[in-house]
Structure 1
Amino acid sequence: MTTLTRPTSRKPMLIVTPLAAALGALGGLAAGSAPFVGVGAVTGLLWAGLAALLARPLLRLRDTMAADLITVSAAFVVMLTLGAGLTQHVMYPTPEAYLGLMQSPASGGATGLYVALNPLVEWLLMPAALALAWHRSRRRRLLLAAGGVYYLQRLATYLYFAPTVLGWTHGGTLAEVGLWITLDVARMALDLAVVAILVTAIVADKR
């Protein structure tokens, strides 16, 4: 007789907790203020604590529809941010135009969308998609790949893209903006890859 064992959240949380604190600290660092680094780290720890409390109930939820909905939602939100970035590149294709956008009152709206949507995927949808699919080996592998690419993009954002673009409100050279725009195209390609992998994870799991 085979005994089914329930997944435990303790060992993964030993990895998730410091990573969540580091991710929160990087978000604070991107804001350019030392106090926000501490606030971000504490936020990461609080999130990890909440995740630990919800891990077991979430892992017991093995409803395929719920897993599909969360994964599709993650892909949709990433696609929204990708579309917003692509729109900005089309509307402001030159370094002069893009720098003008960032130094105008419209810059708040241009960055506000990312501030609202990125944490939704980063802290909720991607972790939940992984948790719900953890017992499905094929989907788990694909979601781990999607998560790896996504968090690599977020790491680059916190270390380079966000601090650089936020600094343009007080200055910035056209050469710097031109380099940022070129590298941002590569970052959008990573977002597109994340969406493709997430969709593939859903489709592959149905075969």
Structure 2
Amino acid sequence: MDTSVDQNRELRERTEERDVARRELEELRHRKETEQDQSESLRREEYGGFNWGAAIFGWLVAIALTVLLASIAGAIAAAVGEELNFTQSDAQREAGEVGIATGIGLLVVLMIAYFAGGYVAGRMSRYDGGRQGLGVWLIGLVVSAIAVVVGVIFDQQYNIFSRVDLPTIPIPTDTLSTAGLIALGAVVVGTLLAAFVGGKMGQRYHTKIDRITA
């Protein structure tokens, strides 16, 4: 009988010891998670938000990539047109198809460029990658608006668009206004989404590191 009582007492003591050790481990884990959350909140408060430097560098990358991709696309289009003996009169006869193809190509180039710019901005900033991508897009929008306003106010003397020898797109003048508005809307929405997604993708680099080191 005494042996059975002693065994039961030892079993209860071991159970209580395990329960105490489990509670201490849970408290330690909870304390560590709380400290990590507080540290993360302090870092986000200190380094989060909009980063002008990252947005500017992202915008520069977007501009450079736009020029590069547009040059490559122009060279390919010229080579294909020469190979197929595609003349200006042919372009005028098929103005609708050429205009749509050119617009789609321009949209793809701009979206790729702004995705890369948003990615760079998000990679440079540890937090709020989407916001950094939005900053890249806003800088591009503001610069474009300023260029247009300056060209309108000062007419041809300071109109940078008229001073650059850009190739003309064979679109009939009666559909230019409608097509231009549609293209403008597509470019604005497309580049906004591309820059935002690029910023989020750039931020994932820091998220992976935090997950590994946590």
Q: TM-score, normalising length from structure 2? A: 0.27
TM-score normalised according to structure 1 size: 0.28
